[in-house]
Amino acid sequence: MPRSKQRTPEMRERVLQAAVQMLASDGIAGFTTRRLAHQASTSAPAVYELFGDKAGVVREVFFEGFRALGRRLRAVEPSGDCGSDLVRVIRAFRVFVRENPVLAELMFSRPFADFDPGPAERIAGDEVRELIVAAVRRCIEAGVLAGDPTDIAHVLLALAQGLARQETAGWLGSSQASMDRRWDLALAAVLHGLRPPS
């Protein structure tokens, strides 16, 4: 009697979580399918059957990163102060990148040569960006900011990505206070410049 295959949804989730943890602990250079299979207590053929190839694993980790970031941004409860809410959303992005630097690199820098994001991957990024657009739109409707919400969201996301990359690389300052000060300075300067004309 042939042995039943163990390629279950539970195994798929186990391999995916092992991949996320491996990237966090070993970095991109140490990420191989064989090591991933060992980490997930399965075989390389099982990983290939579940995900196709290494690029398929990376693709799923990419999606998992955006799902986790989306959960983090959605956890920011709107208050009566839309400007403060927008800053809290950007700070939630900062904390996510600080806690998941390798995952963020995969999501925003494309470090794997054999992974070329397609339309589905761009949609995953767009869904997270829409959460920032929504926070910006509330500020525009309240008269706190002026401009196109999508344009402003792109600017804020680019600013946050740049600052987060500097921070995780150790280039934004040598103390928490100096890093916090530079984040606050950048956000305050950009948001001040986006205020409606008096």
Tell me, yes or no, whether 87 and 24 share the same domain: no
Q: In Å, what is the CA distance from 176 to each residue of 98, 161, 180? A: 12, 18, 6
pLDDT at 133 over 60: yes
Residue 78 lies in a domain: yes
Q: How far apart are CA 64 and CA 16, in angstroms?
A: 8
Task: Identify which of 145, 123, 138 has the alpha carbon closest to the alpha carbon of residue 193.
Answer: 145
Task: Tell me, yes or no, whether 67 and 147 share the same domain.
Answer: yes
Distance CA 150, CA 141 (A): 14
**Number of structural domains the chain divides into:** 2
- Residue range 16-36, pLDDT digits in tens: 889 988 888 887 778 888 999
Higher pLDDT, 146 or 63: 146
| pLDDT tens digits, 96-122 | 999 998 888 888 876 555 556 667 667
Report DSSP state, residue 56: H
Instruction: Check whether residue 162 and residue 102 sit in a common domain.
Output: yes
Average pLDDT on 36-54 reads 90
Higher pLDDT: 198 or 130? It is: 130
pLDDT higher than threshold 60 for residue 92? yes
pLDDT at 2: 40
**Are 139 and 43 found together in one domain?**
no
pLDDT confidence bin for 4, thresholds 50/70/90: very low
Percent above pLDDT 90 for the chain: 58
What average pLDDT does this structure show over 46-67? 87
Are 164 and 83 in a shared domain? yes
Contact of 164 with 93, CB cutoff 8 Å: yes
Examine the domain organization and report whether 24 and 68 are in the same domain.
no
**pLDDT tens digits, one per residue of 151-179:** 999 999 999 999 999 999 999 999 999 99
Which two three-digit tokens encode residue 33? 């399918």
Does residue 1 have a pLDDT over 50?
no
Q: Which domain holds residue 67?
A: 62-193
Mean pLDDT of 133-150: 97
Q: Residues 105, 28: contact at Cβ < 8 Å? A: yes
Query: What's 106's domain CATH number?
Result: 1.10.357.10
Same domain, 76 and 167: yes
What is the pLDDT of the chain when averaged over all its residues?
Answer: 88
CA distances from 16 to 49, 98, 127 (A): 13, 21, 21
Q: Is the pLDDT of residue 5 over 70?
A: no
